Amino acid sequence: MAVEGSPEEPLHEGGDDTKLKREFGTIGLLFTAVGSIIGSGWLFGALDAAQLAGPAAIISWALGCVMFVIIGMTYSELGTMFPHSGGVARYPHYSFGSFTSFSIGWVTWIAAAAVAPVEVLAVVQYSTNYVPWLQRIQENEAVLTPAGTVVSVALMAVFVIVNFFGVRWFARINNVLVWWKLAVILVVIAVFMALSFEPSHFTAPSLGGFAPYGSQGVFSAVATAGIAFSFFGFRQGVELAGETDNPKRNVPLTLIGSVVICGVIYILLQVAFLGAVPTKAIRAEGWQAVGAHFSSHGDVLATFGPLAAIAGILGAVWLAGILYADAIISPGDTGLIYAGVTARISYAMGRNRNAPAGLAKVNRTGVPWVSLVLAFIVGCFFFLPFPGWSKLVEFVTNSTVLSFGCGPLVLLAMRKQMPDYNRPFRLGDRWVWIIGFLALWSTNLIVYWTGWDTNWKLFIAILLGYVLMAVYYKVAKQQTPPLDFRHGWWLLVWYAGLALISYLGDYPEEKENAGNLGLLDFNLGAAATLVLTAIVIWLALRCALPTERVREILQDRGSQEH
């Protein structure tokens, strides 16, 4: 009898998610990724990147785009091999067992669970200009009023309800919103370049030149200016792979195409922003303070975004109004997408059986409704007052990027574990090792560039996850799969190595009380992450599950009722 998923009986056409509805077409899946990429980040990313890197922010966006294309290529092969929803959390289970899949699934879930409420907070904050009773200022931070909390919970409920009725409703609504978001960005680029574009901003020595803050500013911008955060939406090609009608075509197109499309748009937007910034704003205190210039001039639009502020300065008041409306629509659409994504991740953990099996239950419309309700409940906790929206975004960045790092390891392991498995999208044998190595190194670099003051919180969250895992394995002994710790202990070396390098490094350079030692400069830090990448790949491949165990897991996944 053929093993399910073997060359004689491949899983790639439908995957094992037999009760999920495969209703995402080519455009539907691609637009889900594009809509997820273009959220609230684009409204602030151009300014934040310029303040960190100056005109060299163009390089930051290009570098971020290349990094995520490389990461997306690893998932393109895996996504067509195993078109299973929640793939980021499920693939590690196939190659390394339960300990690894729980570790990656936990990091992925806590990151995704924060995105929808963060986008809701963005919508509410922008709406406060018209509805002032939604928020109040407390200790220089905008916090929700009781009425604002009710509105925020209601918006989260809307996200859940739309997702609850299935991917067909979701795709129809999202397609319309994505066309709107793309149109707004293109209009902004065209108007900025037409009304005010000063080429001297890019090279003039009196304004700091092209790279006033050096290479460290360029690379810091990738991790902390919202650039990496802006590209995370490419993951929808993996998370929703079990719900598309043609994984062989749609998964690679979504994973790579969405990054390339949005990368080109973001680079053009950055160029337009750099050329349109008032020259006097740069001369005042340099690129690092151009945002303060807008605020000091009392422009009310600066509260809601630098793009709207520039539009107002240029006299394009109509464009400022459109940008303000988009500041509600763009985050709202991304929140809608991530409510569903978070549910797919916990659904995947339920399918792996290292989380309660009830999380994998789906309703008649093919939606993991228990996981969706859990995402709603946990998401509402993020509405409690906490300082620093940007800090939460940085936390989402490093945790999400860390979860992507296991994809290259599974890709390389599967080449040895299942060499004859059907791969509708296959990376060349000469390139797979280079791409796998670069993808994991990119992951480690972005985490390192995020800085110790954010990274230490991530590692505390990881420790909390292990406590929860220990409790679950203690309580549900009969329902849990083997822990497979001897096949996953290398993950602790990876996490500990990243923590040590981050603690010894000099990111963030501009903060004196970040807690890190600053012993590794940019070059030494990059070299350390390079060595760590090689060590982790070597250990992971030595510890990978034997082929027989991989086949048992795939058979079990295919035979379970869900």
Residue 467 lies in a domain: no
The 10s digit of each residue's pLDDT in 391-434 is 667 777 888 889 889 999 999 999 999 998 888 888 888 899 99
Pair of tokens at residue 243:
């719900």
- Residue 14 DSSP class: T
Mean pLDDT, range 75-84, rounded to an integer: 84
Pair of tokens at residue 560:
């379970």
Q: Which of 37-46, 294-303, 405-414 has the lowest mean pLDDT?
A: 294-303
Residue 353 lies in a domain: yes
More confident residue, 304 or 72: 72
User: Could you write out the DSSP letters of every residue in 463-512?
Assistant: HHHHHHHHHHHHH-TTTSPP--GGGTTHHHHHHHHHHHHHHHB--STT-T
Q: How confident is the model at residue 294 (pLDDT cuts 50, 70, 90)?
A: low
Residue 8 lies in a domain: no
DSSP β-bridge partners for residue 143: 136
- Predicted local distance difference test score (pLDDT) of residue 26: 67
- Predicted local distance difference test score (pLDDT) of residue 445: 93
If you search the block for the tokens 């190659």, which residue do you land on? Answer: 95
Q: Which of 493, 490, 502, 491 is nearest to 458 (CA)?
A: 502
How many Cα atoms within 13 Å fall on the side-chain side of residue 531? 8
Confidence check: pLDDT of 511 > 60: no
The 10s digit of each residue's pLDDT in 439-463 is 999 999 999 988 888 889 889 989 9
Mean pLDDT, range 209-214, rounded to an integer: 91
Q: Which of 104-108, 130-134, 525-529 has the lowest mean pLDDT?
A: 130-134
Full residue range of the structural domain in which residue 77 is found: 26-387+405-425+546-559
Confidence check: pLDDT of 7 > 50: no
The enclosing domain of 117 has a CATH number of 1.20.1740.10
The 10s digit of each residue's pLDDT in 218-235 is 988 898 777 888 888 787
- What SS3 state is found at 209? coil
Residue 382 lies in a domain: yes
- Predicted local distance difference test score (pLDDT) of residue 557: 58
> Which residues, other chains included, contact 401 with Cβ-Cβ below 8 Å and sequence gap of 6+?
228, 443, 446, 447
Q: How confident is the model at residue 337 (pLDDT cuts 50, 70, 90)?
A: confident
- Residue 545 DSSP class: P
Confidence check: pLDDT of 385 > 50: yes
Does this model's pTM top 0.85? My answer is no
Angle (CA) 366 369 372, round 5°: 120
Angle (CA) 465 467 470, round 5°: 110
Cβ atoms within 10 Å of 484's Cβ, excluding its own: 21
The amino acid present at 20, given as its one-letter code, is L
Confidence check: pLDDT of 162 > 60: yes
- Predicted local distance difference test score (pLDDT) of residue 412: 96
Confidence check: pLDDT of 40 > 90: no
Q: How confident is the model at residue 559 (pLDDT cuts 50, 70, 90)?
A: very low
Residue 249 lies in a domain: yes
Q: Which of 317, 341, 268 is nearest to 119 (CA)?
A: 341
Please give the mean pLDDT across all residues of the chain. Answer: 81
- Predicted local distance difference test score (pLDDT) of residue 441: 96
User: Which percentage of the chain shows pLDDT scores above 70?
Assistant: 83
User: Which percentage of the chain shows pLDDT scores above 90?
Assistant: 29
**SS (HEC) of 222-267:** HHHCCHHHHHHHHHHHHHCHHHECCHHHHHHHHHHHHHHHHHHHHH
Residue 14 lies in a domain: no
Pair of tokens at residue 51:
């303040």
As a residue count, the chain comes to: 562
DSSP β-bridge partners for residue 505: 520
Distance in angstroms (rounded) separating the CA atoms of residues 422 and 187: 44
Residue 502 lies in a domain: no
> Which residues, other chains included, contact 436 with Cβ-Cβ below 8 Å and sequence gap of 6+?
74, 408, 409, 411, 412, 537
Q: Is the peptide bond before 508 cis (omega within 30 degrees of 0)?
A: yes
Q: Which of 3-12, 57-66, 83-92, 336-345 has the lowest mean pLDDT?
A: 3-12
Q: What is the largest CA-CA distance in the chain?
A: 75
Q: Which of 204-208, 245-249, 516-520 has the lowest mean pLDDT?
A: 245-249
More confident residue, 96 or 4: 96
Pair of tokens at residue 324:
């303000």
Q: How confident is the model at residue 69 (pLDDT cuts 50, 70, 90)?
A: very high
User: Could you write out the DSSP letters of every residue in 91-141?
Assistant: HHHHHH-HHHHHHHHHHHHHHHHHHHHHHHHHHHHHHTTT-GGGEEEETTE
Name the phi and psi angles at 383, rounded to 5. Answer: -80, -5
- Predicted local distance difference test score (pLDDT) of residue 545: 95
**Residue 65 contacts residue 260 (beta carbons within 8 Å):** yes
- What SS3 state is found at 517? coil
Q: Which of 387, 396, 390 is nearest to 142 (CA)?
A: 387
Distance in angstroms (rounded) separating the CA atoms of residues 468 and 475: 11
- Number of domains, the chain: 1
If you search the block for the tokens 């790579």, which residue do you land on? Answer: 256
Residue 443 lies in a domain: no
Could you tell me how far CA 453 lies from the centroid of its own chain?
Answer: 20
Confidence check: pLDDT of 23 > 80: no
- What SS3 state is found at 363? coil
> Which residues, other chains included, contact 428 with Cβ-Cβ below 8 Å and sequence gap of 6+?
none
